[in-house]
Structure 1
Amino acid sequence: MNEDKALEQQDGEDTASTVEAAPVYSIYTQKEKYAITLLVSLIGIFSTLSSPIYLPVLPTLERKFGVGEKQMNVSVVLYSVFQGIAPSLMSNLADRYGRRITFALCLILYIGADIGLALNNSFAGLLVLRCVQAAGVASTISVSSGVVADITERENRGGFVGINQGIQLIGQAFGGLLGGLLDTGFGWRGIFWFLTIAAGAVWLITHVLVPETNRAIVGNGSNAPKQFRWISYAPILFLPTFKKRLANPEPSTIVPRRLLNPLDSLLILKNPTIMLVMLPVSVLSTCWIMMLTTLSLSLNQYYNYTTLQVGLCYLPSGVGGVCGSVTAGRFADWNYRRLYRKYTVRSQDPDEQKAPFDALLARVQVVMGPAMLTPFFLIMFGWCIDKVVHVATVCVSSFFTSFFGIMSIGTSMTILIDLFPNRASAAAACLNLCRCLLSALGIGVLAYMTDSMTVGGCYSLLAGVALLSSLTYFYILANTRRLTAATH
């Protein structure tokens, strides 16, 4: 386990020769790793924020452009499609040329689209610019996952992945409320002006403070980037504390650079283990996105809520998602360390044949419970909306659907990064592609499903599909070693 044991410490000194310690996995301290994770998560917030901040104003935009619910849902569908496709192209760029240059390209596209949306006056323009907006910002999620993989080792990676996703999901938590407030105070155009200003400010801060972390370029961080220094060399590296670390580069920590291949993330899908992990998490993610879309339209239609009231009702689902992500990360790390301690004890037994540690088992044990619980809260949500019961029950069901659903998604992301640590952006983009394309399909048929089988019937069907897809985890659990070997 080279990744887990990157730094071997010397307990004694050999008088005949001095054994040189292996280079550290990352030159950054624990606090610096948290700071880097926090900063790249702030960029990713805009990917999770741009969808819920938009949903509360769907009824307003229907009236503005003179279209119906099904036509307006096209703007949500197209956003999901491009949210899935774009990271598949950008992630390979990040794995080859670096995280910083890819962040810059993403934010330039995103800010340009936000300005266009704020000035737009046509429904066709709305659709086109929403596609550009998604294409720009969606990739920041997979690139930030790549940064986390660059600086963390497997034994504590789950916690950092949980923090990364948890912070990003703050956008999901407060997006609906923020959209309602901005629409009430400044009109729907104020939403896109806010996103423009906020994204520009975050880009400036991260450009100064976040160093390049791609291990094919800087290794463990001790090697200065040689290409595109004008963008790859962070201003913070001019500080004495960082210049001192760069004075002793460790070229041996640099990993082979990936070839430029826009389809790299799609090639990961050929792996049977990945397909088994992707299926249930993509279905759960689709159900979650459909729930958020239904929340906006149903509260306006059945409860006669204002945009601001609808925004407030998004808080429980957003907070549930944040809590679920952080909980998943901590639980994943705890379970990993628990099983690794048992493995270490057994491996010291001379009669016990030592096999590699089963990291996949440690992760799958965490994801199974939340994946099996999510469908029950989906059913509760659907029938509460259908029967127009008190809104508190709707909020409770949306909280737990988000909590358990995001726990499953977060742990699945950790599994992918564990399996492909040097292709983390591509692996995250692969998951994003499956989730978003299936979500686009779900949103596209959502209105037809609720019209034909009611909201309660629709979510009962979705819960059944989610529960069936989660059964794949039992197969993974029974074949973890064979499936892990198949990825190498």
Structure 2
Amino acid sequence: MSDSEVQEPVETTPLLSQPVSRKPYSIFTKAQKHWIIMAAAIASTFSPLSANIYFPALNSIAQDLKVSPSQMNLTITTYMICQGLAPTFTGSLADQAGRRPAYIICFVVYIVGNIALALQHSFSTLLILRAIQSCGSSGTVALASAVAADIITSAERGTYMGLTSLGNILAPSLGPIVGGLLTQYLGWEAIFWFLAIIASVFFVLLLLFFPETCRVIVGDGSIPPSGWNRPLCDCVKISRVSTIPSRDRHITIPNPLPSLKLLFRRPVGILLLGNGVIFGSFYAVMAGIPAQFVKLYHLNDLQVGLCYIPAGLGSLLSATTNGILVDWNYRRICTRAGLALEQEHKHQVLSFPIEKARLQIGLPMIVLAGGAIAVYGSFLAYGFPFWSVLFTIFISCFCITGAYNIMNVLIVELYYTTPATAMAANNLVRCFLGAGTTAAVNPLINIIGTQWTYCAVSGALVAVTSLLLLVYFRGWDWRRAQAGLPVTCQ
């Protein structure tokens, strides 16, 4: 895949008041879109769930394998590194061969990895298998956003992208609770059997019913897929007569370079950095909860796991309400710009300041998240009541989730022709920054204290906000200049 394949398509019409085509962007009905997006959201849950369900079992596994806690932390680091790298290959494959082949490969690797993890009793084997498990599950996060880009237009993308991120946001909150229960009553091996079983059930349903959505393969959905792009339930039906032939395509070896090149391209490189810092701030709060809450409030492991519920509730509420707000603002900006607003058609991104439509909601969320995290650190430092600390977690996660989802929407908007490649780059940055934050937060608390640690996290969010202001004011002109079009006088 060449670099040009990840650039924005140059618009072919000068009329800002007209959408790209009068033909609907996708032939899928609204009900079909809902269940396709929900399936993609469930699939994306397995990566963060596998990472966080593992935490309560660390001490038990360390005792059984006779290794130190520091060695066990290596399995977390290995997982997150692979979680960042693997989607760069998965995204490239998905944009060429289609979403279904990428999903099939991911789940086969993931299920086999989990079964092997449940059966092994060696630290070196654990380290290798955690990497394999991560490679299998991590691609599904980028694929969820790609599926949304395939079938959803800009006018409704805020709501649907919020739904695709639900699993990715809720899993870090719910995973430790499930992991703690399984470890306490059934042993740590039960965690991997549990993941293998639920993944296998979902995989069978995916093989049977999940349609191919990649526009390179099926266009707006009217081109019939063939081979492994075709759901098994279609294969057992009587073949339908179609006048639209399947597309011939040449698939090359998955190449991570297009994803890596996006890191150095304006404005998306700044967006990727900003989203990584937002994601890192989330893990700064999540990773610090166990040690701090045991120390300050004398909780046991199960009670600590329950403390993640406010984070999950805040994320859930944010994913649903902020999507509605983002879509409302998009409609408002379209109306002000004199653009015809039709949810079934797509506007050219070069004809529209999409950065302003998204960041007008996203930037306030980032600032509010920074303030809430600073308050959270102060409450911990001065021993505020338990309920008030949980409330600040709820507010922090509400704002972080809102900002994170909006940034995801904007990244997909800018690269809607190769969304899996773009989201793979996003996954790379966020996972590396998330891994670094997770490793650093507790040592930093021991060195400079809780209040200053979370003030530093808040400061990082404020700093990245200033960079995103450049995207807000200059992003549209950067994109038009790269496409050889005259810049605007915004």
Same-fold status (TM-score > 0.5) = yes
Aligned to 1:161: 161
Contact 2:415 2:422 in 1 (8 A): yes
- Residue identity opposite 1:98 in structure 2: G
C-alpha change, 1:439 and 1:171, in structure 2 (3 Å) is closer
1:336 matched to 2:330? The reply is: yes
Within 5 A, what are the aligned runs for 1:70-149?
A: 70-149=70-149
Structure 1 position 70, deviation (Å): 4.0
- Work out the CA distance in 2 between the residues paired with 1:64 and 1:388: 36
Across the two proteins, how many residue pairs are aligned to each other?
Answer: 461
In structure 2, the CA distance between the partners of 1:284 and 1:487, relative to structure 1 (3 Å rule), is: farther
Q: Normalization by structure 1: what TM-score?
A: 0.87
Secondary structure of 1:422 counterpart = coil
Consecutive unaligned residues of structure 1, counting only runs of 5 or more, are: 9-21, 348-354
Q: CA deviation at 1:251?
A: 7.5
Name the CA shift for 1:291/1:65 in 2 (closer, same or farther; >3 Å): farther
Could you give the per-residue CA deviations for residues 158-207 of structure 1, whole angstroms, max 9, x where no partner exists? Answer: 21111111244332342122112212221222111111100010111111
The aligned residue for residue 290 of structure 1 is 284
Measured after TM superposition, the shift of residue 455 of structure 1 is 2.6
1:423 aligns with 2:437: no
SS at match of 1:331: helix
CA distance in 1, matches of 2:253, 2:139: 19
Which of 312, 317, 336 pairs up with 1:318?
312
Alpha-carbon distance in structure 2 between the residues aligned to 1:399 and 1:2: 46
Return the alpha-carbon distance in structure 1 between the equivalents of residues 381 and 113 of structure 2.
Answer: 37
Correspondence list, 1:10-409, <5 A? 22=23, 24-226=24-226, 229=227, 231-237=228-234, 247-249=242-244, 260-344=254-338, 356-409=351-404
Q: Distance in 1 between matches of 2:429 and 2:417?
A: 20
Q: 1:216 to 1:443 in 2, by over 3 A?
A: same
Aligned-partner residue type, residue 5 of structure 1:
P
Q: CA deviation at 1:358?
A: 1.7
The separation in 2 between residues aligned to 1:384 and 1:443, in whole angstroms, is: 21
Match of 1:445 among 440, 445, 457: 440
% identical equivalent positions: 27
Between the aligned partners of 2:221 and 2:98, the Cα distance in structure 1 is: 12
- Structure 1 residues 120 and 447, CA, compared in 2 at 3 Å: closer, same or farther? farther
Deviates more, 1:118-127 or 1:82-91: 118-127
Deviates more, 1:470-479 or 1:91-100: 470-479
Q: Take 1:26 and 1:128, find their aligned partners in 2: how far apart are those partners?
A: 42
Shift of 1:260: 4.4
| TM-score (norm. length: structure 2) | 0.87
Given that residues 169 and 401 in structure 2 are in contact (C-alpha distance below 8 angstroms), is that contact kept between their aligned partners in structure 1?
no
Closer, same or farther: CA 327–243 of 1 in aligned 2, 3 Å? farther
Counterpart Cα distance in 2 of 1:148 and 1:264: 20
For structure 2, list consecutive stretches of 5 or more residues without a partner in the other structure: 1-10, 342-349, 484-490
